[in-house]
Amino acid sequence: MNAPTTYFEHGTAAERWARARLFFDAKEYATAARILDALAAEVPEQLAPRLLLARAYYHSAQLSRAEHELRAILERWPVEDYAQLMLGRTLERRGRAAEAAPYLRLARAMAGEFPE
């Protein structure tokens, strides 16, 4: 394993999770993503770090990475409605509205919002 290069990469998984949340809440999305990328790789069975990583990628305009992470999340947790919504929004933001539509419809249906 590579040695940590900055202070925010040090500590236990719980400490790095807390630090990543602080950076995310401070709108330092790229820094949060950097911390969360390593953390998500360390604990791939946990949804929360991966979902926050996807959100950090989205907010820092790393849309290709956000799409990749969201697709990986949905492969493992297909009923995660927020990931469905985020993938749809990410695809829209990338100019792929037609591809986004099924994810957005599914997210609305999962949230109980049905068209009249």
pLDDT band at residue 7 using 50, 70 and 90 as cut-offs: low
CA-angle at 65, arms to 60 and 68, nearest 5°: 140
Name the band, by pLDDT with cuts 50, 70 and 90, for residue 37: very high
Q: What confidence category does residue 96 fall into, taking pLDDT thresholds of 50, 70 and 90?
A: very high
* Cα–Cα distance measured from residue 35 to residue 33, given in angstroms and rounded to the nearest whole number: 5
pLDDT at 112: 84
| pLDDT surpasses 60 at 1 | no
Measure the N-to-C terminal CA separation of the chain; round to a whole number of Å.
54
Query: What mean pLDDT do residues 69-92 have?
Result: 97
